[in-house]
Amino acid sequence: MRKKKPFLIVFEGIEGCGKSFQSRKLHNKLKKLGISSILTREPGGTKSAELIRNLILKDYFKSTQRDKFDKYTDTLLYLAARNEHIKFKIKPALKLNKVVICDRFIDSTTAYQVYGKKVNKNFISSIHKHILHGVKPNIVFVLKVSQLSAKKRLLKRKSKNRYDNLGKAFYNKAQMSFLKIANRKKNYYILNSSDNDNSLEKKIFEIVKKQLKIK
């Protein structure tokens, strides 16, 4: 059995890559082994952060409505949700030596806001210095998916947000951004999730087992 220590695992990728599905699968496997862990998400994770999530993920890009948040307002709302999430959920869990599994984290901000919306990277970095408090992922899984597989999954979703309705060019750019972020980083694992099957689930679990030193 693993020696207890704080551990943060993050799943990243574009909409329809299967990260939410795989993060749930991993959480269930750890629970079955009796390993103390929590599953959370961004934006969200706490009551206050979920309220912000509902605001920023609401689809306000409508042809009859020109009003929308400025990109810096939008980014600040994401960062406000992250501050609540880290302070009231992630850090307390890590202090208790739990394994935290997070569906999206700081790389999504870089991919969507910096590369996608051209928000100044230093602007985000300066805020992160005040809200991260040394919290950083031990493992990041970047799930790479084909456009066809992602589209099929998005079509099946009953509840959608504004990011689920964007075009092929946006998703291509976002995926390339995630791959660029992950490039040559030792604790990042780029995995093909187009099939999102048992083999991917097993691959993820084997990596986690090795890092957590689970026998």
Contacts for 139 with CB less than 8 Å, ≥ 6 apart: 7, 8, 9, 10, 187, 189, 207, 208, 211
Q: Residues 142-164: what's their mean pLDDT? A: 72
Q: What confidence tier does 170 reach under pLDDT thresholds 50, 70, 90?
A: confident
pLDDT (tens digit, 9 = 90+) per residue, 80-103? 999 999 999 999 999 999 999 999
| pLDDT value, residue 152 | 77
pTM of the model: 0.90
User: How far is residue 5's CA from residue 97's CA, in Å, rounded to a whole number?
Assistant: 5
Q: Please, what is the average pLDDT of the chain?
A: 88
Domain with 31 in it: what CATH number?
3.40.50.300
Residue 156 has pLDDT above 90, yes or no: no
- Quick check: is 123 in a domain? yes
Nearest to 112 by CA among 15, 214, 21: 15
Residue 10 has pLDDT above 70, yes or no: yes
Residue 145: domain span: 7-212
Count of domains for the chain: 1
